[in-house]
Amino acid sequence: MGDVDASDADEPHHPEVDDVDPEDDTPKEACGVFGVYAPGQPVAHLTYLGLFALQHRGQESAGMAVSDGESITVIKEMGLVANAFDERMLVALSGHLAIGHVRYSTTGSSVWRNSQPSYRDVGGIGFALGHNGNLVNTRQLADEAGMLPGAVASDTDVIAELLSIELGREGAHASLESALMEVVPRLEGAFSLTLQDADHLIGVRDPNGFRPLCLGRLDNGWVLASESPALDIIGAVFIRELDPGEMVVIDADGPRSSFPFAAERTDPTLCIFEFVYFSRPDSRLYGRSVHQARIHMGEQLAEQMPVDADMVMGVPESGLPAAEGYSRRSGIPYGQGLVKNRYIGRTFIAPSQELRAQAVRMKLNPLRENIEGKRVVVIDDSIVRGTTTRAMIKMLREAGATEVHMRVSSPPYRWPCFYGMDTGTRGELLAANLSVEEIRDFLGADTLAYLSLDRLVSAIDQAGTGQAGFCDACLTGSYPVEIPVSLGKGVLEGELLVPSDARGRIDDGVRVLPVDEAAAIGARRAEAEAEDRS
């Protein structure tokens, strides 16, 4: 267990009132992975739909790899799933198995070079890889692989290189499955992987189970996905979650399991923020409904931190179930107090400096007729930097709220995550540097209260039965896998920086699509790279 002492924290950052980005008050997502083995079915279309269901987990880039049994085609683009693929492209991607990925960067910059799936070809064995998580020993592994700092783009790049080396070492008897058995025990940190070669779909989950990965069944095939709604959307039946430390290999004979980490298996530590914020409300984790868990969080919050008020309201979207629970338990009527602009979405970039004061209103706008003259309880799932929450509270007062009581359905967010979530440095985390009363004063709320950790766990337990263990390092500073004290996303980007002329080398072995398809893809790729260089 690795604990980080407060003395090692970065210098605190004190946000200004107009230093507003509508996304700053929420942790940034991990990634989403998907895979399907379904001979005779349009696997590219199924992957497209599966990625749509996982879009909330990453909006920077989207990609898929499709195998027809002889070669693998990889297509990946910057932006949302809807922008990355079109119908002609999906029709051209024929095959019997595929993997897909949506990305939010946790290690490596947000450029096309780092989009996934990653592809390698070693002695005629091609494979593609998608990764959700973050390794904490990336630099060590890169050194072991003989990779210079300028040749490494991300931790996913390192995993692909290690597999390539192992496949080369195995020679004529090489297989992706045997290479994984040698490589994955060397990985430290968080990783849920989907991989494929010409005829096998493979899923791997790290021995702590930091990030989710589940298995589903089609009429004539099998599916792997970060979350269960990706199964629902294509008509697959949820079978189970992969166990921590499990590897599942799927081929014509169906799935088979092994445990490369068998000697090191630990109690599972799923990221607790999968329940608080990351996962879709219609997902099931640990056999528990995420939506019900969030309602129970609100109920627990009402019991622990009651207040006299006229209306309970939630911050859209993830704060709404907890607000429903708070209202139910407290008896205070629930109402809609904020309207969200759905067309800005999670990819919205804050405008130029002169428009920052209006940035929050571009995403959220108060319903004056519901708020005016009322004491309101505002429920949100978390507060990271506080700038957006502060601007929102100011808007509610301007809309006529007589009192604004802030309630948060998770404990104070005090420590950065190194297991697949981008939270910034400790100096940027409001609760790492201020007391609850100081935070209340900064936000401008009449009162502020957080849900305690024990009640958060209790709320999740209420949503189901069976074993449930969590990583709560961002709340406690107690890290299940030891990390270098200086480690962080920015540090890793500096160590793993890739020269601009290295972009695209990872995909040199990809089969070329028909000319008109390839031309369209190439044009979009050139535009994306031009934006990266500008």
pLDDT for residue 414 is more than 50: yes
Mean pLDDT of 99-115: 72
Please indicate, yes or no, whether residues 220 and 75 belong to a single structural domain of this protein.
yes
pLDDT for residue 344 is more than 90: no
Q: In sequence order, which residues have a C-beta less than 8 Å from that of residue 504 and are 6 or more positions away?
A: 112, 113
380 known ligand binder: yes
In a domain, 58, yes or no: yes
d(Cα 172, Cα 191) in Å, to the nearest integer? 29
228 known ligand binder: no
Please indicate, yes or no, whether residues 109 and 81 belong to a single structural domain of this protein.
yes
Q: Could you tell me the CA-to-CA distances from 338 to 313, 335, 371, 510 in Å, in that order?
A: 8, 9, 9, 47
Please indicate, yes or no, whether residues 315 and 460 belong to a single structural domain of this protein.
yes
- In the chain, what is the straight-line distance between the N-terminal and C-terminal CA atoms, in Å? 43
Cβ burial, residue 499 (10 Å; 0-12/13-18/19+): exposed
In a domain, 495, yes or no: no
Please indicate, yes or no, whether residues 188 and 323 belong to a single structural domain of this protein.
no
Give the confidence band of 346 by pLDDT, cuts at 50, 70, 90: very low
Mean pLDDT of 206-217: 97
Give the confidence band of 514 by pLDDT, cuts at 50, 70, 90: very low
User: What H or E segment, with its residue span, contains residue 490?
Assistant: helix 489-495
Q: What is the pLDDT of residues 137-167, one digit of tens each?
A: 999 999 999 988 777 778 999 999 999 999 9
Three-point CA angle 153, 280, 389, nearest 5°: 85
Going by the DSSP 8-state scheme, the letter that residue 46 receives in this structure is H
Question: Bridge partners of 240?
Answer: 215
Structure tokens at 224: 């792997």
471 known ligand binder: yes
d(Cα 48, Cα 93) in Å, to the nearest integer? 11
Domain range enclosing 80: 32-267+501-530
What is the domain-level CATH number for residue 473? 3.40.50.2020
Which of 532, 498, 533 has the alpha carbon at shortest distance from 61? 532
Structure tokens at 86: 């079109």
Give the confidence band of 391 by pLDDT, cuts at 50, 70, 90: very high
In a domain, 432, yes or no: yes
Please indicate, yes or no, whether residues 343 and 249 belong to a single structural domain of this protein.
no
Structure tokens at 355: 């428009």
Structure tokens at 21: 């980005």
d(Cα 205, Cα 520) in Å, to the nearest integer? 36
Q: Give me the pLDDT at residue 354, please.
A: 45
d(Cα 111, Cα 107) in Å, to the nearest integer? 12
Contact 210, 419 (CB under 8 A): yes
214 known ligand binder: no
CA within 13 Å, CB half, 487: 25
Please indicate, yes or no, whether residues 67 and 97 belong to a single structural domain of this protein.
yes
d(Cα 493, Cα 109) in Å, to the nearest integer? 7
d(Cα 115, Cα 182) in Å, to the nearest integer? 25
Going by the DSSP 8-state scheme, the letter that residue 499 receives in this structure is -
In a domain, 291, yes or no: yes
In a domain, 489, yes or no: no
Between helix 387-398 and helix 436-443 the angle, nearest 10°, is 50
In a domain, 434, yes or no: yes
Q: Given CA atoms 407, 410, 411, 415 in this order, what sign does their dihedral have?
A: negative
Three-point CA angle 488, 497, 156, nearest 5°: 70
Q: Give me the pLDDT at residue 88, please.
A: 93
Q: What is the pLDDT of residues 22-45, one digit of tens each?
A: 455 555 556 999 999 999 999 999
pLDDT for residue 78 is more than 50: yes
Please indicate, yes or no, whether residues 305 and 370 belong to a single structural domain of this protein.
yes
User: What H or E segment, with its residue span, contains residue 207?
Assistant: none
Whether omega before 317 lies within 30 degrees of 0, making that bond cis, reads yes
Please indicate, yes or no, whether residues 449 and 511 belong to a single structural domain of this protein.
no
Question: Bridge partners of 125?
Answer: 122
Task: Give catalytic status of residue 31 as yes or no.
Answer: yes
Q: Give me the pLDDT at residue 525, please.
A: 44
Please indicate, yes or no, whether residues 369 and 407 belong to a single structural domain of this protein.
yes
d(Cα 296, Cα 454) in Å, to the nearest integer? 13
Q: Give me the pLDDT at residue 297, please.
A: 99
Q: Give me the pLDDT at residue 291, please.
A: 97
Please indicate, yes or no, whether residues 229 and 279 belong to a single structural domain of this protein.
no
Please indicate, yes or no, whether residues 319 and 466 belong to a single structural domain of this protein.
yes
Q: Decide: helix, strand or coil at residue 239.
A: strand
Q: Give me the pLDDT at residue 102, please.
A: 96
Going by the DSSP 8-state scheme, the letter that residue 153 receives in this structure is -
381 known ligand binder: yes
Structure tokens at 145: 């692989």
Q: Mind giving me the DSSP string for 77-130?
A: EES-HHHH--HHHHHH---SEEEEEEE--SSS-SSGGG-SSEEEEETTEEEEEE
User: What H or E segment, with its residue span, contains residue 6?
Assistant: none
Give the confidence band of 527 by pLDDT, cuts at 50, 70, 90: low
Please state the domain count of the chain. Answer: 2
Number of neighbours of residue 361 by Cβ within 10 angstroms: 15
Q: Give me the pLDDT at residue 5, please.
A: 35
d(Cα 433, Cα 341) in Å, to the nearest integer? 32
Of the residues 20, 31, 224, 376, only one is catalytic, namely 31
Structure tokens at 304: 């622990």
What is the domain-level CATH number for residue 195? 3.60.20.10
Q: What is the pLDDT of residues 265-319, one digit of tens each?
A: 668 899 999 999 999 999 999 999 999 999 999 999 999 999 999 999 999 988 9
Q: Give me the pLDDT at residue 173, please.
A: 86
Q: Give me the pLDDT at residue 171, please.
A: 86
Mean pLDDT of 468-473: 92
pTM, two decimals, is 0.84
In a domain, 488, yes or no: no
d(Cα 331, Cα 312) in Å, to the nearest integer? 9
Q: Give me the pLDDT at residue 496, please.
A: 43
In a domain, 493, yes or no: no
Structure tokens at 265: 């298996």
Least confident among 74-78, 316-320, 440-444, 487-491: 487-491
318 known ligand binder: yes
Please indicate, yes or no, whether residues 252 and 161 belong to a single structural domain of this protein.
yes
Q: What share of the chain has pLDDT > 70, as a percent?
A: 78
d(Cα 349, Cα 162) in Å, to the nearest integer? 36
Q: Give me the pLDDT at residue 266, please.
A: 67
Mean pLDDT of 478-492: 67
Beta-strand pair 447-450/403-408: parallel
Give the confidence band of 376 by pLDDT, cuts at 50, 70, 90: very high
Q: Mind giving me the DSSP string for 258-283?
A: E-TTGGG-----EETHIIIIIS-TT-
